[in-house]
């Protein structure tokens, strides 16, 4: 089946089942969905996709938007705000903003609005804040290991001039931490690879790209063909995290055979839990099959890494 046909059928099925975009709002999933829909518009010229992307943005603002920032999700247990969810939403607005500039301007305003709540210059980026951004969440304390990298690359894409101060603070955190950071969790590794495409000539990106590929090589299980959750969890696997790895690998042009293998494996894999029908699984699957909006022109490198 053609990739576009596959994605179209999955989007239709999700809508029929009220999974997405007409299910409960969840900022991370909605960010991936907006990038996907904008990618489909750019590839096909079908304005319906662009209209759908704008509808999702409006719904996120209506349902999850707060006086300052955006709530994690609509469900009762998804209160508060995560920086990495907000950073991914900023990227989604950046991609949509390449078609409709007002969304890029909205992303710049949002970045400025949330930055001082989450970022302690010279120290770190707070992992989770209360919903009104008044203080860190008392139940989940600490700093996000990847958040400074995420903010750094997205801010630079949005506007290096308008976000000059914020970028400098994130760059300082990246330079302080990248030599000592070792990621072991599946989705974190995929996200780090995705970050590195935006700074291919910078030392942090080179170090973290190679370190992440080495770790991912230890997580690969073939047969049947998936990345396990952690080095000490050989039988634990999640479809959506593997799709995140697939996006990261495609963004730097690595391990195309493994990407194809995992996509085939998770096409029929069923976990037997809520993730079988969660929007995050199926929206990220579509993005992994058609990742164009997650790959910046000219940033893709040849597939010369470790191969399975």
pLDDT score, position 298: 60
Q: What is the CATH number of domain 1-177?
A: 1.50.10.10
pLDDT band at 307 (very low <50, low <70, confident <90, very high): very low
When pLDDT is averaged across residues 214-231 and rounded to a whole number, the result is 98
Distance CA 115, CA 163 (A): 10
61, 52 in Cβ contact below 8 A?
Answer: no
Tokens of 180: 């000592």
Q: How high is the mean pLDDT of the chain?
A: 95
Q: Please, which pLDDT band fits residue 297 given cuts at 50, 70 and 90?
A: confident
Residue 142, pLDDT > 90, answer yes
Specify the pLDDT at position 1. 61
Whether residue 198 contacts residue 157, with contact meaning beta carbons closer than 8 Å, is answered with yes
Q: Give the C-alpha separation, 188 to 291, whole Å.
A: 18
Q: CA 276 from chain center: how many Å? A: 20
Q: What is the pLDDT of residues 70-126, one digit of tens each?
A: 999 999 999 999 999 999 999 999 999 999 999 999 999 999 999 999 999 999 999
**pLDDT at residue number 300:** 46
Q: Are 131 and 85 in contact (CB under 8 A)?
A: no
Domain spans of the chain?
1-177, 183-308
67, pLDDT greater than 50? yes
Residue whose tokens read 């991914």: 88
Kindly state the greatest CA–CA separation across the chain. 50
Contacts of 110 (CB under 8 A, 6+ apart): 69, 70, 86, 89, 90, 93
Could you report the per-residue pLDDT of 228-278, keeping only the tens digit for each?
999 999 999 999 999 999 999 999 999 999 999 999 999 999 999 999 999
pLDDT value for 141: 82
* Beta carbons of 200 and 299 less than 8 angstroms apart: yes
Mean pLDDT of 30-49: 98
The number of helices, as runs of H, and strands, as runs of E, in the chain is 12, 6
pLDDT value of position 303: 38
Percent with pLDDT over 70 in the chain: 96
| Chain segment 155-176, per-residue pLDDT in tens | 999 999 999 999 999 999 999 9
| Least confident interval from 136-140, 193-197, 254-258, 260-264 | 136-140
């Amino acid at each position: 089946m053609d990739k576009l046909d596959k994605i179209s059928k999955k989007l239709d099925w999700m809508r029929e089942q009220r999974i997405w975009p007409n299910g409960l709002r969840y900022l991370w999933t909605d960010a991936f969905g907006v990038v996907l829909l904008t990618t489909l518009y750019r590839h096909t010229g079908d304005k319906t996709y662009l209209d759908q992307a704008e509808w999702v943005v409006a719904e996120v603002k209506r349902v999850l938007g707060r006086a300052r920032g955006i709530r994690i999700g609509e469900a009762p247990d998804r209160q508060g705000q995560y920086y990495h969810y907000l950073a991914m939403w900023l990227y989604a607005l950046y991609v949509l903003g390449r078609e409709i500039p007002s969304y890029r301007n909205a992303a710049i305003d949002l970045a400025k609005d949330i930055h001082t709540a989450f970022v302690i210059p010279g120290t770190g980026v707070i992992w989770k804040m209360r919903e009104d951004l008044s203080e860190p969440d008392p139940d989940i304390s600490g700093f996000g290991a990847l958040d400074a990298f995420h903010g750094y690359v997205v801010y630079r894409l949005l506007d290096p001039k308008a976000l000059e101060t914020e970028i400098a603070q994130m760059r300082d955190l990246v330079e302080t931490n990248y030599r000592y950071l070792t990621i072991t969790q599946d989705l974190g590794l995929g996200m780090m690879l995705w970050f590195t495409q935006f700074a291919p000539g910078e030392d942090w990106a080179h170090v973290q790209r190679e370190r992440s590929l080495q770790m991912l090589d230890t997580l690969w299980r073939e047969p049947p063909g998936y990345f396990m959750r952690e080095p000490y969890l050989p039988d634990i696997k999640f479809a959506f995290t593997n799709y995140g790895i697939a996006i990261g690998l495609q963004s730097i042009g690595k391990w195309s055979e493994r990407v194809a293998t995992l996509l085939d494996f998770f096409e029929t894999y069923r976990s037997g839990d809520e993730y079988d029908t969660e929007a995050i699984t199926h929206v990220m699957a579509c993005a992994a099959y058609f990742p164009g909006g997650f790959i910046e022109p000219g940033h893709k490198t040849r597939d010369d890494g470790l191969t399975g």
